[in-house]
Amino acid sequence: MIEAVVVLGGLGLVAALGLSLASLRFRVEVDPRVEAIEAVLPGANCGACGYAGCSAFARALAGGEAPPNACIPGGPEVARAVAEILGVEAADVARRLAVVHCGGTRDAAPDKGIYQGVPDCRAAVLVGGGPKLCPYGCLGLGTCERVCPFHAIRVGPDGIPRVDRQRCTGCGKCVGTCPKELIELLPEDNRVHVRCANPLRGKAVGAVCSRGCIGCRRCEKACPFGAMAMDGALARIDPAPCTSCGVCATVCPTGAIEDLVEVRYRARIDAEACIGCTKCARVCPVDAISGEKKKPHAVDPDRCVGCGRCAGECPKGAIGRGELLVRAPREAAG
């Protein structure tokens, strides 16, 4: 009995020594920066950086395979913290938010039938393209809502997803999930959007949705910054030149363009500083400014939409903020 115990104990000792030597021989050195980086990352494991979770991203950062500003949810704060750990300069992080390009509520865009299958947009689209009469419309089954790791999307009672701009981090999970490809990541500063993805022409669009873009081109003609262009019969906004002035939403006859700017200021002209050059009147997209040449001009408060175009053109800085123009946001699905 004693001999058996001694033999087993000896074998155990030899095995332990062997494992210890093997661990020393084959151990992998862990960069201490990996743990430090992972500690400052948000831990959402959303994949917006292009890696499979925050741990993989931290290893890539420490190995110099990823830029410090690749963490979209973390924003500039995380980018600066990571750059400090790595000893490099932090680049700016341009925050981008999800935008749903559909305003076809249940009232505006009726269904062509009753769907009784799996409550998932990806499943519903396999059944004749989904229950929506508009072949390009949101199915409203909440797939994007369920995949959002930050609870930034909610499907309202009208059947259209709404994005919480405070919660959205621009991770892009919802973008890849939507089977209709209706969700896009756009710069945070852009607060005016076309809420339609139907490329058909006027009558065809109107037959399936009363809120759709009918290709009338009014927005394109009215845009003072050249940010609006037609992609066939569908209006699109170039986010680079767009200033979110809201003129396009003002002239849209169907409400297909949403304007999320709740507060604007009407223009006010300082009569003493105004030299009557007429530049402001010429650029005003809604003809809200009038006056004779070389005489002080005036703003018609009933016409002014607070776009700010005139202020940017005035060579004397005579145009500033006037009366507060408060209104509810005009939304395509509102």
SS3 220: helix
Same domain for 54 and 100?
no
The answer to whether residues 166 and 198 belong to one domain is: no
Q: Which of 157, 162, 158, 159 is nearest to 174 (CA)?
A: 162
* Residue 315 lies in domain: 263-326
Is 73 inside any structural domain?
Answer: yes
Tokens of 329: 């946001």
Same domain, 169 and 195: no
User: How does pLDDT run across 31-51, given as a tens digit for each residue?
Assistant: 778 888 888 888 878 777 778
| Residue 10 in domain | no
pLDDT score, position 24: 55
> In this structure, are 200 and 254 located in the same domain?
yes
Does residue 301 fall inside a structural domain?
yes
Residue owning tokens 């010429």: 282
Kindly state whether residues 113 and 179 are assigned to the same domain: yes
Q: How many domains is the chain partitioned into structurally?
A: 4
Indicate the residue among 123, 154, 186 that finishes a domain.
Answer: 186
- Give the separation between CA 307 and CA 311, rounded to whole angstroms: 9
Q: Examine residue 299 and state whether it is found in any structural domain, yes or no.
A: yes
| Residue 138: CATH number of its domain | 3.30.70.20
- Report the alpha-carbon distance of residue 175 to residue 195 in Å, rounded: 15
Question: Is 27 domain-assigned?
Answer: no
Cα angle 292, 298, 302; round to 5: 130
- For residue range 104-163, list pLDDT tens digits in order: 999 999 999 889 999 999 999 999 999 999 999 999 999 999 999 889 999 999 999 999
Cα–Cα distance list, 308 to 147, 257, 266 (Å): 39, 19, 8
Q: How far apart are CA 97 and CA 163, in angstroms?
A: 8
**Residues of the chain falling short of pLDDT 50:** 328-334
Res 73: pLDDT? 79
Q: Is the dihedral of CA 175, 180, 186, 190 positive or negative?
A: negative
Among the three residues 186, 204, 228, which one is the final residue of a domain in this structure? 186
Domain end, chosen from 162, 186, 210, is at 186
- Residue 144 phi/psi, 5-degree rounding, is -65, -35
In a domain, 26, yes or no: no
- pLDDT at 46 (0 to 100): 79
Placement of tokens 């093997």 in the chain: 22
Verify that 267 and 257 share a domain, yes or no. Answer: no
pLDDT at position 332: 39
Residue 238 lies in a domain: yes
Q: What is the pLDDT of residue 230?
A: 93
Claim to verify: residue 104 and residue 174 sit in the same structural domain: yes
Asked, for residue 241, whether it belongs to a domain, the answer is yes
Say if residue 237 is in the same domain as residue 267. Answer: no
- The alpha carbon of residue 10 and the mean position of all alpha carbons in its chain are separated, in whole angstroms, by 66
Q: Is 177 found in the same domain as 228? A: no
Query: Hey, how many other C-beta atoms are within 10 angstroms of the C-beta on 102?
Result: 32
Q: What is the pLDDT of residue 79?
A: 84
